[in-house]
């Protein structure tokens, strides 16, 4: 492998840019992509950045390096990036190494080695081929441990999710066939958990987007962004929350959306007696604790049904505010499919024990809740506008944040 012999290169500078690439890699992980991030820098200025997105873009070439190269080339108005350095958290593959050479980069700095596909020395070394004219210098191992740790955590979580998806179905529950959801894709990665005590082996579906480090704010209402818990109504599931989930995340918020047992992509207990507000609240509380959102972490509960806000709010001790959303939210590009989407999780009457029982819940009026309430249910606005109003409203309240002890 070529190693840059120039000792005048500031190691601290390399580390700082690699940390920037790591924040991008974390965004890839949050989107369900292999966590690799890359930046292109020239004379201390950031020209381009990117993270892995082949799944989201349906593009096998959408690696972090390619994304960053494209941005940098546009910024310079030149396909040759002479004098530039690319920082990437993982050793480049053969495709990316070829593109890096074609761009005439001065340096390539990577973090973790890639023993299976690495083309900068691990499997083979494209940069050392004497037949090529380009002379790009390569430096590996910068923040290698941190880059490797992010990758290891990602694949460990993926293996855990695969085990959870293979969770055996309880005899007293039903599971909607995946084909029923084929026409209603979700915008954020799906996760499953079955080992929470209240679930007793039932499989629970949820999505969780954490605020990126650079999105965290030190202004009210929270020292770090609040976590928004988005809940479907009695006739819905998390499909309806996708655009709002992304809009809140774009506002710097951490967002969790859940299909309660009996709804959506979660398992559906057959017995109506199971579907009581207290039990569903216990499931939500256990999931929050599972994700590290314990009593010291502030939550805002948002739902499109006042009954559910009133019924489930008492089960969350760290809940600090409520938001009543408009009913009938739909995903962009799928307007007019609300009824079909709402019916998708319920192939037959046997799957509807949850909605049937929830219609009979008896709870105190929402107006009796002592928590601050933002009422948006009558506002027919795009999710982006709703998210902006919600974040601004709760910021103005200056709700107390409970720092970890």
Measured from the Cβ of residue 326, the count of other Cβ atoms closer than 10 Å reads 15
With the C-alpha atoms ordered 306, 310, 311, 315, is the resulting torsion angle positive or negative? positive
Determine contact, residues 192/165, Cβ cutoff 8 Å: yes
* Residues 6 or more apart whose Cβ sits within 8 Å of residue 260: 231, 232, 266, 280, 283, 284, 354
**Cα distance between residue 61 and residue 57, in whole Å:** 9
Quick check: helix, strand or coil at residue 61? coil
Quick check: helix, strand or coil at residue 137? strand
Structure tokens at 388: 């902006």
Bridge partners of 29, per DSSP, are none
85-90 vs 107-112, strand pairing mode: parallel
Active site residue 65: yes
DSSP string covering 177-225: -GGGGTTS--SS--EEE--SGGGTT--EEEEEEPPPGGG---STT-SSP
**Cα distance between residue 34 and residue 46, in whole Å:** 23
Considering the candidates 33, 65, 91, 114, report the single residue annotated as catalytic: 65
Quick check: helix, strand or coil at residue 274? helix
Helix (H) or strand (E) segment spanning residue 86 = strand 85-90
Helix (H) or strand (E) segment spanning residue 257 = strand 254-259
Bridge partners of 375, per DSSP, are 324
Determine contact, residues 325/376, Cβ cutoff 8 Å: yes
Measured from the Cβ of residue 50, the count of other Cβ atoms closer than 10 Å reads 26
Of 106, 97, 132, 127, nearest to 43 by C-alpha is: 106
Residue with tokens 């070394």: 125
CA 363 to each of CA 188, 231, 273, 286, 307: distance values in angstroms, whole numbers, following the listed order:
32, 17, 16, 22, 7
Active site residues: 65
């Amino acid at each position: 492998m070529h190693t840059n012999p120039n000792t005048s290169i500031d190691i601290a500078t390399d580390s700082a840019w690699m940390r920037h690439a790591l924040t991008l890699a974390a965004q890839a992980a949050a989107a369900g992509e292999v966590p690799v991030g890359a930046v292109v820098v020239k004379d201390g200025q950031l020209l381009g950045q990117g993270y892995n997105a082949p799944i989201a873009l349906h593009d096998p070439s959408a690696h972090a390096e390619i994304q960053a190269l494209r941005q940098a080339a546009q910024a310079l108005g030149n396909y040759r990036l002479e004098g530039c350095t690319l920082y990437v958290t993982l050793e480049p593959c053969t495709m990316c190494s070829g593109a890096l050479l074609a761009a005439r980069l001065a340096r390539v700095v990577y973090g973790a080695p890639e023993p299976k596909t690495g083309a900068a020395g691990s499997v083979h070394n494209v940069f050392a081929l004497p037949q090529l004219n380009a002379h790009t210098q390569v430096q590996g191992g910068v923040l290698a441990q941190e880059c490797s740790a992010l990758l290891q955590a990602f694949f460990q979580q993926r293996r855990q999710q695969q085990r959870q998806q293979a969770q055996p179905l309880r005899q007293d529950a039903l599971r909607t066939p995946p084909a029923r959801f084929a026409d209603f894709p979700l915008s954020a990665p799906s996760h499953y958990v079955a080992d929470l005590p209240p679930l007793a082996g039932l499989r629970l579906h949820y999505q969780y987007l954490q605020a990126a480090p650079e999105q965290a704010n030190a202004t009210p209402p929270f020292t770090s962004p609040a976590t928004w818990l988005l809940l479907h109504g009695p006739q819905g599931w998390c499909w309806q929350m996708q655009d709002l989930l992304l809009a809140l995340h774009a506002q710097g918020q951490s967002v969790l959306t859940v299909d309660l047992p009996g709804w959506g992509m979660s398992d559906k207990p057959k017995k109506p007696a199971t579907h009581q507000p207290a039990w569903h609240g216990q499931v939500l509380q256990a999931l929050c604790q599972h994700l590290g959102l314990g009593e010291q972490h502030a939550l805002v509960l948002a739902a499109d049904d006042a009954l559910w806000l009133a019924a489930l709010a008492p089960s969350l001790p760290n809940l600090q505010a409520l938001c009543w959303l408009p009913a009938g939210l739909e995903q962009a590009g799928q307007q007019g499919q609300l009824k079909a989407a709402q019916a998708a999780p319920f192939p037959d009457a046997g799957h509807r024990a949850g909605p049937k029982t929830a219609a009979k819940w008896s709870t105190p009026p929402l107006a009796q809740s002592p928590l601050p309430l933002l009422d948006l249910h009558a506002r027919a606005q795009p999710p982006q506008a709703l998210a902006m109003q919600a974040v601004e409203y709760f910021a103005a309240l200056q709700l107390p944040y409970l720092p970890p002890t």
